[in-house]
Amino acid sequence: MDNTIIYYIMGGAAGAFVLIVLIYYILSKKMQKSEYKRIQRLQEGTKENRFSAEVLFQKLYLTYIKIPFLKRYVLKLRRRLEIINVDDEYATRKGTAKILTKTLVILVPVIIITIMITYTNYLLMFILLMFEIFMIDTLIDGSVDKIDNTLLKEQLDFFSEIRHAYHEYNMVEEAIYQVAQDDEKNVSRQGEKIYEILISDDPETEIEKYYDIAPNSFLKEFAGVSYLTKEFGDRKVEGASLYLKNVNNITQEMQLEILKRDKLNYVFQSLSVISIVPILLLEPLKNWAIDNFSFTASWYQGKSGMIVQILILLITFISYILVRKLKDNGSTAINTKNTENPWQAKLYKHKIIKKIVDLFIPKQGTKEYRKVTQLLKDAASHLKMEWLYINRICLFIVTFFASIAIFAQLHAVAINYIYTEPTTDYDIIGGLSEKDEEKAMELTEQDNIILDQFKGNLNVTDEQIRMAVERLPYYDGEEEAEIDKAVERIREKLDIINSEYMQWFEILLAFVFAIIGYMAPIWILIFQVKMRQLEMEDEVMQFQTIILMLMRIERVNVEIILEWLERYSNIFREPISRCVNNYEAGAWEALEQMKDEVSYTPLIRIIESLQAAVEKIPITDAFDELDSERDYYQEKRKESNERLIKRKGMIGKAIGFAPMVCMFVGYLIIPLVFIGLTSMSSSFTSMTSMQQ
């Protein structure tokens, strides 16, 4: 019966196989005669037969957005690339995935190398890994800045083509439309957006929206000038089109900005790397010094070496942040940080945390509140007052507990060195042979037995140590002098071990470091303000260019000029905004108030010219020197940029090379010289006593 069932099953399987083959044959014949074959032929040449990077990046984007840690960077990248790509979701996803993939390709090997180099030092490994994660922001910002610079260079060709198209069509919107048809360039998307604004039903509202999302100020200026020309018409000035003259002015500004950025990138391109390199060289340098100068082992493997190591890490971290702030300060890149709902805002929503933070925030109307508010404005920070104090409180807490953990680690390092150091009376300048080292380690292990027995006992006597030593089999038959020497040696080790515990002054130091951490965000803002002050001259010269473009356009008045200055201002935004708000209450008075708030002389001259244009003379007469001395101002602008780059370069080099200098001087040269001289002095003293 069983065999019959098996035969039935086998026969059924064979029949099914034959049936499947027959069906496949019939269907294939029909497909050859049907539309299916024609569709296949049509698809030939359109399918991607080889590996497609486009598809890969789209898939990688979907993968990255699901990973919690990477999602933050994906969203940050999206916010910046969305502005450049103007509603092109496909390009935004591709660019985001491409930049993040390149960042990971660079960072992952660095993390692996760091782990391989520092696997014996967990504290250093942890700090380096945290620091390398922090580097992701820099790599991402650098990649997006590169796209910004490419867009800026594309704008030069775009504006050049606009000139030719305008000569042909003599209509602003048509010229922009024709030039924007090149789909390969990012600037073409911006051109299409500006064209859509100009032909919209409410171009004034749409242009205001575009001002908020434009990738750089030059596109804002171009969009604004194009809108004004379309609304009020073009006119001839000295036989040339005013619109084309304004486009030419914007082009000259862009050329200066491109040169400035290129020079800044050249000056700073290696400083960030130079400031980081020392922390990667700490462990190899330590191993090299110990291998070649064995007398330095006690310093490098002890508490002193760890303290210097931590100081170099802190100096490196601070230098890295300052170099980054210094380089990015003059950039026209848009701030795309999540200013609506960052982690600080989420934290501040909790009632208990809100009450605690509010205790630290100065009361409104107080001098301290006005001072911090003004500092945030002067630094052009995206932080709100409560966010700033959440940062300060978090840094205070993190610094305090990190300091306690570091002090505990230092005690552990000191104790561990006592337990692992080869015990010998051998001359410290020389090295130990393999046989001597084995003997020294055996002696260390014997000492460790006694140390474990009396560790933590502050009242132990030399007699108790002697009795414990005499009970060890290792000292059976040894002379009294050897036992005395062992007791003295163990007593010294025991005193060190028993003294390595958390002490009151370390808690105090942790509190001091925490206060420094609490003040760090304020100091960074102050540094940012100082760096922004270097940009004052450049911003005022940009104001002059804007006024030069507007002053000959009909129906443009002082209020419109002030609105444009406010739109493109950065350092002087606050006084200009107040002037715009107070303008309707009294133009002269509002300008006079702004003049009182500003101390920079070139800007005061512009304000005085605006005051003259309010009541006395036309705008063109008030600023006639800008047109007549255009070449002079251009040369002055170039010279100003040269001085700015030189000053930033000097400050950047001093900050960027500080960690490298500290590493070689503080971590290599001084220890070698100091320990070497101390060892030689000790050796000479020993030899002198032996001769006597």
Which DSSP category does 669 fall into? I
Comparing 280 with 311, the larger pLDDT belongs to: 311
Can you give the length of the chain in residues?
692
Please, what sign has the CA dihedral across residues 547, 531, 339, 99? Answer: positive
Residue-level pLDDT at 396: 93
Mean pLDDT of 385-395: 91
Give the tokens for residue 508. 């105090």
Task: Quote the CA–CA distance of 221 and 227 in Å, as a whole number.
Answer: 10
Please, what sign has the CA dihedral across residues 526, 532, 534, 536? Answer: negative
Mean pLDDT of 465-473: 80
Residue-level pLDDT at 398: 92
The predicted-structure confidence for 427-444, as pLDDT tens digits, reads as follows 444 455 667 667 777 777
> Measured between alpha carbons, how far apart are the two ends of the chain, in Å?
112
Give the tokens for residue 53. 């990077």
Mean pLDDT of 5-21: 56
The predicted-structure confidence for 650-690, as pLDDT tens digits, reads as follows 888 888 888 888 888 888 888 888 777 776 776 666 566 55
Task: Quote the CA–CA distance of 187 and 164 in Å, as a whole number.
Answer: 17
Name the helix (H) or strand (E) containing 240: strand 240-241
Task: Quote the CA–CA distance of 193 and 213 in Å, as a whole number.
Answer: 11
Task: Quote the CA–CA distance of 518 and 232 in Å, as a whole number.
Answer: 54
Position 268 pLDDT exceeds 90: no
| Cβ pair 241, 234 in contact under 8 A | yes
* Long-range CB contact pairs, 265-271, < 8 A, 24+: 265/149, 267/645, 267/648, 267/649, 267/652, 268/323, 268/326, 268/327, 268/648, 268/649, 268/652, 271/323, 271/327, 271/652, 271/653, 271/655, 271/656
Classify 682 in phi/psi space as left (phi over 0), alpha (psi -120 to 50) or beta.
alpha
**3-state secondary structure (DSSP) of residue 236:** strand
* Of the candidates 271, 267, 282, 268, the residue with the CA atom closest to the CA atom of residue 312: 282
Task: Quote the CA–CA distance of 491 and 31 in Å, as a whole number.
Answer: 95
* Helices of type H across 569-629: 573-582, 587-597, 601-615, 619-622, 624-628
Of the pLDDT bands very low, low, confident and very high (cuts 50, 70, 90), residue 484 is confident
Residue-level pLDDT at 330: 43
Q: What is the DSSP string of 12-61?
A: HHHHHHHHHHHHHHHHHHHHHHSHHHHHHHHHTTTS--S--HHHHHHHHH
Least confident of 351-355, 373-377, 394-398, 455-459: 455-459
* Of the candidates 256, 152, 151, 262, the residue with the CA atom closest to the CA atom of residue 538: 256
The predicted-structure confidence for 501-559, as pLDDT tens digits, reads as follows 788 888 999 999 999 999 989 988 888 887 777 777 778 888 888 888 888 887 788 88
Position 130 pLDDT exceeds 60: yes
Give the tokens for residue 18. 């034959």
Residue-level pLDDT at 311: 86
Residue-level pLDDT at 341: 61
Task: Quote the CA–CA distance of 388 and 361 in Å, as a whole number.
Answer: 9
Q: Mapped to the 3 state alphabet, what secondary structure does 296-324 carry?
A: HHHHHCCHHHHHHHHHHHHHHHHHHHHHH
Residue-level pLDDT at 392: 92
Of the pLDDT bands very low, low, confident and very high (cuts 50, 70, 90), residue 72 is confident
Task: Quote the CA–CA distance of 83 and 281 in Å, as a whole number.
Answer: 40
Comparing 277 with 183, the larger pLDDT belongs to: 277
Position 104 pLDDT exceeds 80: yes
Of the pLDDT bands very low, low, confident and very high (cuts 50, 70, 90), residue 23 is low
Of the pLDDT bands very low, low, confident and very high (cuts 50, 70, 90), residue 692 is low
| Cβ pair 521, 395 in contact under 8 A | yes
| Helix pair 242-268, 630-656: axis angle to 10 deg | 20
Task: Quote the CA–CA distance of 425 and 324 in Å, as a whole number.
Answer: 51
Position 491 pLDDT exceeds 90: no
Residue-level pLDDT at 516: 92
pLDDT > 70 fraction of the chain, expressed in percent and rounded:
84
Residue-level pLDDT at 86: 67
* Long-range CB contact pairs, 490-496, < 8 A, 24+: 490/447, 490/450, 490/451, 490/465, 491/462, 491/465, 493/418, 493/447, 493/451, 494/450, 494/451, 494/454, 494/455, 494/460, 494/465, 496/414, 496/415, 496/418
Which DSSP category does 666 fall into? I
| Cβ pair 218, 253 in contact under 8 A | yes
Radius of gyration from C-alpha coordinates of the chain: 36
Residue-level pLDDT at 512: 92
pLDDT > 90 fraction of the chain, expressed in percent and rounded:
4
Position 642 pLDDT exceeds 90: no
Bridge partner residues of 240 (DSSP): 237
Residue-level pLDDT at 84: 72
E strand map for 148-238: 236-237
Name the helix (H) or strand (E) containing 661: helix 658-664
Mean pLDDT of 253-277: 82
Q: Mapped to the 3 state alphabet, what secondary structure does 440-499 carry?
A: HHHHHHHHHHHHHHHCCCCCCCHHHHHHHHHHCHHHCCCCHHHHHHHHHHHHHHHHHHHH
Mean pLDDT of 49-73: 76
Q: What is the DSSP string of 246-280?
A: HHHHHHHHHHHHHHHHHHHHHHHTTHHHHHHHHHH
Residue-level pLDDT at 328: 66
Least confident of 33-47, 217-231, 568-582: 33-47
Position 41 pLDDT exceeds 80: no
Q: What is the mean pLDDT of the chain?
A: 78
Of the pLDDT bands very low, low, confident and very high (cuts 50, 70, 90), residue 110 is confident
Q: Kindly give, in sequence order, each residue whose CB lies less than 8 Å from that of residue 162, ignoring residues fewer than 6 positions away.
A: 175, 176, 179, 247
Position 338 pLDDT exceeds 50: no
Position 386 pLDDT exceeds 80: yes
